[in-house]
Structure 1
Amino acid sequence: MDEPQENLTMKRELGLLDATLLVAGSMIGSGIFIVSSDMLKDVGSSGWLILVWLITGLMTLIAAISYGELSGMFPKAGGQYVYLKEAYNPLIGFLYGWSFFTVIQTGTIAAVAVAFGKFLGYLNEDLGDGNTVFQFTDTFKISAAQLVGIALIILLTYINTRGIKTGKIIQTTFTATKLIALFGLIIFGFLAANSDIWNANWQDAWTMKRHITRIDAGSSADNWVNLVGVSILGAFAAAMVGSIFSSDAWNNVTFIAGEVRNPQRNIGLSLFLGTLIVTLIYIAANVMYISVLPIEQLAFAKDNRIALSVATEVFGTVGTTLIAVMIMVSTFGCDNGLILSGARVYYTMAKDGLFFRKTSVLNKNSVPEFALWIQCVMACILCISGKYGDLLDMISFVVVLFYVLTIIGIFILRKTRPEAERPYKAFGYPVLPALYILMGLTFCTLLIVFKPEYTWPGLIIVLIGLPVYYIWRQLLPAEK
């Protein structure tokens, strides 16, 4: 590890294009290629599937343009952690940072890295999740895909210790590549669309039905149960867990505000452009899916790999290789963005005396190297545990709750700091921010009522942060 340099500052190397590609690249991982299969098991029809993606996209866009005001007010590293600390108090900021480090960011890094390994297994079976390298008990084993994921995290962490410019080159290259590839898949998918399948998929598009068991494709349609009344709301919220996971990490660009040129302008603009691009891609991809294959085949795609089933239908057997390579490119670029940006949150927390002091120091390349490596260790532990997927399902509630708190913070800061400089004001204020708060709280409430198993684990993780905060406050006072 390079010797820390006390007198260095972060370099503003990122322009608007770089920031926009970071937003898009951090959002697009493996989710869009997989989660719609499980979402269809929850809602059972094309209309409801597209509506879930539309609602998620609307929420993401509203949140992104609302965050623009906060990014203009606080154009420095740390992003959402800083916004929460400034709008409320250091405790709320710490609870977000604690959750961010223990599972939100590190769990996402782990999940995306292992997804890279799983799809590498399509090209070389010895490196996939079907190859168990170590087995300790019947339930605890380590696959080659998990080891590949760990190797990827270590590689990308090392690359990002070399400086922001190196990470920027990887992010720009891989994000541009996967955007082109996704556009290509969508276009070729629409060219191969089957009008009979399309019509059949939309024939009963607004009858919500849930599959009562997770069984193999081709099984009887009798396993579907029509939903009515409040059951529809519960199924809708459960389906949104997948779309929200796939649309998350859009706020990662706020964490690196200290390295963006003209952050007061470029952060807010990149949030809007990046989330808009990804939202349009996600909706187009799902419309394409239901134009190529029947709902039953999409819902029961092998291992939930819905894009793989569609690509095989469109391109034949070569589709497997194409999608595997696409997802590897996508997850590689996604993890780079997550690793690059996440470390800046711990850096800022350490400046406030709320993380390991060494994390607040930059190396000779003007990046928080220790923060990168400690994030790497946590993500690798989650890779080995194999529980990152469960944790991410259970943390969706907390992620949205923190988004809601942050947007409420806009209202608080308008009242407590009316004279503060605001180069950019939240578009549609107060209506659109209030709409997001309403939608976010509705989602969280529905999960509490209908899917409590998706809520209490995340809350426990957050609450563990309470005693940690007070212990840390005593041991590590903030920098002067």
Structure 2
Amino acid sequence: MGFFPLANIVIANMIGAGIFTTSGLLMGDLNNPLLMLMLWLIGGIIALCGAISYGELGANMPGAGGEYLYLSRLYNPLAGFLSGWISFIVGFSAPIAASAIGFSVYFIRAFPSFPLWVHEQTGFSDFTLEKVLAILVITLFTSLHYRGLKLGSTVQNYLTLLKVVLVIGFIALGFAAGKGNVSHFASGNIFTTNLGDWKTIGLSLMWIMFAYSGWNAASYIGSEIKNPEKNLPRSLLLGTVVVMILYLLVNIVFIYAIPPVEMKGVISVGGLAMEKMFGITGGTVSSVLISFALFSSLSAFFNYRSACLLCYGKRWSFF
């Protein structure tokens, strides 16, 4: 696997629902647009530091497994063993299930006539349909990536490219519409140095770091990488930088389009921005964006995490 597919895995794994659903909640806590942008920048820098560290580790210890490999060699095999089990349950299985359910929920919201048609044909409720769609999409990507790394990487490249194009299109349309107001950036509370403000910042950074998670994705498939000493650090670095820039621009569009007072506590902030800019049903557009983002992320999960589990199995490290 070369540099471009690796960078695509990082980008696809990072861009999910978080960027389209987090900023409204952050604005409700921070009530300061510029402070929120600064925290998104800080979160990106933290993720970048992690990517640089993993890139250095991966260049010196090429191989599949990510932190499992690094902890086993640097500290103790027990540390790698514990990390492997945590990754298997919390880092791999749970996010795949959650992303599949999330995709189903937003897909049904984006196409409300679809569940009605399914109910007429099968009698499935929305709850049952969500689970069935989640199982189908997991089965689809399992079958796809089972056929080989080359096919899986090709599909992932196209899905990631389309995802990035959609996000860039959202940003470009937001600025081109010209229906926002730069005065939105100057509104909000003034930050103070009291303990309550720092606590709020810490909690906000936690949500932001969740949106940035996935910057280490390429490190899990080190054994499949061509020239890992060069390609792994570069892909982690480029993928993280691209996502950080996109996240900052998306949030600038949000603030430009939506008065901070109206943004507070809104989960579907992307849909609200579209509604403000174009007067269309923003919820539908936002649901389409989020469902496709989760769809692409699911493909990325299968693209690299199977290689990590293979590494565990080869070393008999699970038991």
Whether these two folds match at TM > 0.5 is: yes
Counterpart of 2:98 in structure 1 is 111
Give CA deviations for 1:402-438 in whole Å, capped at 9, x if unaligned: xxxxxxxxxxxxxxxxxxxxxxxxxxxxxxxxxxxxx
Does the 8 A contact of 2:30 with 2:201 survive in 1?
Answer: yes
Give the counterpart letter for 1:239 in structure 2: S
Structure showing greater radius of gyration is 1
Structure scoring higher RCO (CA < 8 A, sep ≥ 6) equals: 2
d(CA) in 2 for partners of 1:300, 1:180: 28
d(CA) in 2 for partners of 1:150, 1:245: 24
Q: Does 1:199 align with 2:183?
A: yes
User: Which residue of 335, 347, 353 corresponds with 2:310?
Assistant: 347
**1:319 offset after TM fit, Å?**
4.3
Q: 1:205 to 1:270 in 2, by over 3 A?
A: farther
Give CA deviations for 1:3-60 in whole Å, capped at 9, x if unaligned: xxxxxxxxxxx21111111111111111111111222222222122112211110001
d(CA) in 2 for partners of 1:88, 1:142: 46
Q: Secondary structure at the match of 1:250?
A: coil
Counterpart of 2:289 in structure 1 is 326
Q: Secondary structure at the match of 2:55?
A: helix
d(CA) in 1 for partners of 2:189, 2:244: 21
Give the counterpart letter for 2:312 in structure 1: M
d(CA) in 2 for partners of 1:264, 1:201: 43
Does the 8 A contact of 2:55 with 2:219 survive in 1?
Answer: no
User: Which residue of 9, 17, 20 corresponds with 1:33?
Assistant: 20
Residues 167-186 of structure 1 correspond to what in structure 2 (within 5 A)? Answer: 167-186=152-171
Counterpart of 2:222 in structure 1 is 257
Give the counterpart letter for 1:348 in structure 2: C
Give the counterpart letter for 2:14 in structure 1: M
Residues 50-89 of structure 1 correspond to what in structure 2 (within 5 A)? Answer: 50-89=37-76
Q: Does 1:287 align with 2:252?
A: yes
Q: After the TM superposition, which of the residue ranges 115-124 and 266-275 deviates more from structure 2?
A: 115-124
**1:84 offset after TM fit, Å?**
1.1
Structure 1: where are the runs of 5+ without partners?
1-13, 135-140, 209-227, 356-471, 473-480
**1:201 offset after TM fit, Å?**
4.1
Does the 8 A contact of 1:113 with 1:332 survive in 2?
Answer: yes
Counterpart of 1:159 in structure 2 is 144
d(CA) in 2 for partners of 1:109, 1:262: 29
Give the counterpart letter for 1:176 in structure 2: L
d(CA) in 1 for partners of 2:24, 2:131: 23
Counterpart of 1:310 in structure 2 is 273
Does the 8 A contact of 1:21 with 1:274 survive in 2?
Answer: yes
**1:207 offset after TM fit, Å?**
3.6
Structure 2: where are the runs of 5+ without partners?
none
Q: 1:119 to 1:271 in 2, by over 3 A?
A: same
**1:278 offset after TM fit, Å?**
0.2
d(CA) in 1 for partners of 2:97, 2:190: 36
**1:127 offset after TM fit, Å?**
4.1
Does the 8 A contact of 1:47 with 1:205 survive in 2?
Answer: no
Does the 8 A contact of 2:270 with 2:282 survive in 1?
Answer: no
Q: Does 1:95 align with 2:60?
A: no
Does the 8 A contact of 2:179 with 2:277 survive in 1?
Answer: no
Give CA deviations for 1:60-90 in whole Å, capped at 9, x if unaligned: 1111112111111121111221011111111
Cα RMSD for the two superposed structures: 2.2
d(CA) in 1 for partners of 2:190, 2:8: 35
Does the 8 A contact of 1:34 with 1:306 survive in 2?
Answer: yes
Does the 8 A contact of 1:47 with 1:206 survive in 2?
Answer: no
d(CA) in 1 for partners of 2:115, 2:207: 26
Does the 8 A contact of 1:26 with 1:249 survive in 2?
Answer: yes
Counterpart of 1:236 in structure 2 is 201
**1:205 offset after TM fit, Å?**
5.2
Q: 1:70 to 1:127 in 2, by over 3 A?
A: farther
d(CA) in 1 for partners of 2:277, 2:131: 30
Aligned residues: 313
d(CA) in 1 for partners of 2:102, 2:227: 35
Does the 8 A contact of 2:63 with 2:222 survive in 1?
Answer: yes
Counterpart of 1:21 in structure 2 is 8
Q: Secondary structure at the match of 2:109?
A: coil
Residues 124-143 of structure 1 correspond to what in structure 2 (within 5 A)? Answer: 124-125=111-112, 127=115, 142-143=127-128
**1:297 offset after TM fit, Å?**
2.0
